Amino acid sequence: MLKIGIACYPTLGGSGVVATELGKMLAEKGHEVHFITDRMPFRLGQFHTNIFYHEVEVSDYYVFRYPPYDLALANKLAQVAKQEKLDLLHVHYAVPHAICAYLAKQMVGEHLKVVTTLHGTDITILGHDPSLRDLIRMAIHESDAVTAVSQDLIMETYDVLAVDKEIDLVYNFVDPRDYMTPANPQLRAGFAQPHEKILLHMSNFRPVKRITDVIDIFAAVHKQVPSHLIFVGEGPDLAKAVNQVKELGLTNRVHFLGKQNNVAEVIGLADLLLLPSEKESFGLVALEAMAAGVPTIGSEAGGIPEVVRHGIDGFLATVGDTQQMAAHAVQLLRDPQLWNEFSRAGMQQARTKFSAASVVEQYEEIYYRVVRNSQRLKPSVNM
């Protein structure tokens, strides 16, 4: 069994969800997992055997213009690695976590291995920033192993950063046990009548999510199929979305629920997920919807086609083609047999290709590979 340190963004977001769920699954298999972050990961919840949490405290020394979180994290990673005799650090995102892990390794020694997972914006946004590009490139090269959550993200990493590091493809995953509970009929009744449908969108409401497209799709669908739209999440485009809903006279049809921890329960209420994003490195929410038997109507952007199979468990269209997405949605909502076929196909895919057990095994293989390489490099001792 391994001793693994995990650094991630602990708040809402796909990378934090994946990192936390991965840690929980590793602990279930007997590994010792240490989360090292500035706050408790929101998906961690109650006590778990073999899981430990170490809080990063940032100095407020008056000469610092900005709180030096990166340095504090690097130091905490090194402290925990020494104290707990960690075998490796698994860090999620190149900046700042892989850079901090690299610094920690310099303090602890080469026997501490670093596995970095790229989730998206560290490449698709920060990788294009000249002030950060070389730093991200170094973080990748200095990691003992690098993974990415989609083939599309791997290709973009090579294209944007011109790295020559081998990158392992390890998809995001879901734990099917989280999505086995049937939808709560009383909860659903609070949003829609039995003859009405519910469409869902979950995101951080950034421009790349194309929130206005979500509303345009829903407006077109509602004209043909009585429906409601549920929004989950917050972000910079939230106010714009609220205004658009008011202008279209859909206020009593659109429900803004803000951030929600129990996403499986909310997803279970929906008939369709809308994901018209301009860019998605993977599209974790689509996978979560598939696990719950909810088909996705989305865009052909980034890694989404690697998750949603067009015409099998969802429908995809060109980014911005809201008319086609709405037409696909209406087709599914009006054809119960086709909807059931898509629902079953999605659940099967989530429980096989994207199952937690399968993905955790992939990560374990990578962990053992880098640790074995470390052991091979240790000098022999003559007794």
Position 110 pLDDT exceeds 90: yes
Using one digit for the tens of pLDDT, what is the confidence trace for 138-165?
Answer: 999 999 999 999 999 999 999 999 999 9
Q: For residue 30, what pLDDT band results from cuts at 50, 70 and 90?
A: very high
Q: Answer whether residue 332 is part of any domain.
A: yes
Q: Are 319 and 300 in contact (CB under 8 A)?
A: yes
**334 and 227 housed in the same domain:** yes
Residue 165 placed within a domain: yes
Instruction: Please tell me the total number of residues recorded for the chain in this structure.
Output: 383
Which pLDDT tens digit goes with each residue over 271-316? 999 999 999 999 999 999 999 999 999 999 999 999 999 999 999 9
Indicate the angle between helix axes 284-291 and 14-28, nearest 10 degrees: 50
Q: What would the mean pLDDT of 4-33 be, rounded to a whole number?
A: 90
Amino acid letter, 207: P
Q: Chain centroid to CA 335: how far?
A: 31
The band of 126, judged by pLDDT with boundaries at 50, 70 and 90, is confident
- Confirm if 25 and 49 have CB atoms less than 8 A apart: no
Residue 75 has pLDDT above 50, yes or no: yes
Neighbours of 197 (CB within 10 A): 22
| pLDDT interval class at 375 (50, 70, 90) | low
Q: Are residues 14 and 91 in the same domain?
A: yes
Residue 377 has pLDDT above 60, yes or no: no
pLDDT single digits (tens) 216-272: 999 999 999 999 999 999 999 999 999 999 999 999 999 999 988 788 899 999 999
Q: Would you tell me how many other CB atoms lie within 10 Å of the CB of residue 276?
A: 27
**What is the per-residue pLDDT for 72?**
94
Residues 197 and 119 in one domain: no
The span from the CA of 264 to the CA of 213, in Å, is 24
And the tokens for 101?
């892990």
Asked if omega into 96 is within 30° of 0 (cis), the reply is yes
Q: Provide the β-strand partners of residue 90.
A: 6, 115
In a domain, 169, yes or no: yes
**Beta-carbon-side half-sphere exposure of residue 164 (alpha carbons within 13 Å):** 0
Q: How confident is the model at residue 184 (pLDDT cuts 50, 70, 90)?
A: confident
Residues 219, 160: one domain? Answer: no
Exposure string for 284-307, b = 16+ CB within 10 A, e = fewer: bbbbbbbbbbbbbbbbebbbbbbb
166 and 180 fall within a common domain: no
Q: Are residues 246 and 126 in the same domain?
A: no
Asked if the model's pLDDT at residue 183 lies above 90, the reply is: no
Query: Are 186 and 282 part of one and the same domain?
Result: yes
Decide: 282 and 14 in contact? Cβ < 8 Å.
Answer: yes
pLDDT in tens, 34-64: 999 988 887 777 778 899 999 999 888 778 8
Structure tokens at 195: 């003859």
Does residue 169 share a domain with residue 188?
no
Q: DSSP letter at 379?
A: P
Split at pLDDT 50, 70, 90, the class of 382 is: very low
Residues 233 and 333 in one domain: yes
Residue position matching structure tokens 């730093």: 135
Could you tell me the sign of the dihedral formed by the alpha carbons of 258, 230, 321, 280, in that order?
positive
**CA-derived radius of gyration, the chain:** 22
Per-residue pLDDT reduced to its tens digit, 222-234: 999 999 999 999 9
- Give the number of domains in the chain: 2
Q: Are residues 215 and 110 in the same domain?
A: no
Is residue 383 included in any domain, yes or no? no
For the chain, how far is it from start to end, CA to CA, in angstroms? 27
Distance CA 280, CA 277 (A): 7
Residue 365 counted as domain residue: yes
Mean pLDDT of the chain: 92
382: in domain:
no
Q: Which residues contact 93 (CB under 8 A, 6 or more apart)?
A: 8, 9, 15, 117, 118, 119, 122
* Domain boundaries, position 362: 3-173+355-377
Where residue 374 falls among pLDDT bands split at 50, 70, 90?
low
Are 50 and 116 within one domain? yes
- 324: domain CATH number is 3.40.50.2000
Q: Give yes or no: residues 30 and 165 share one domain.
A: yes
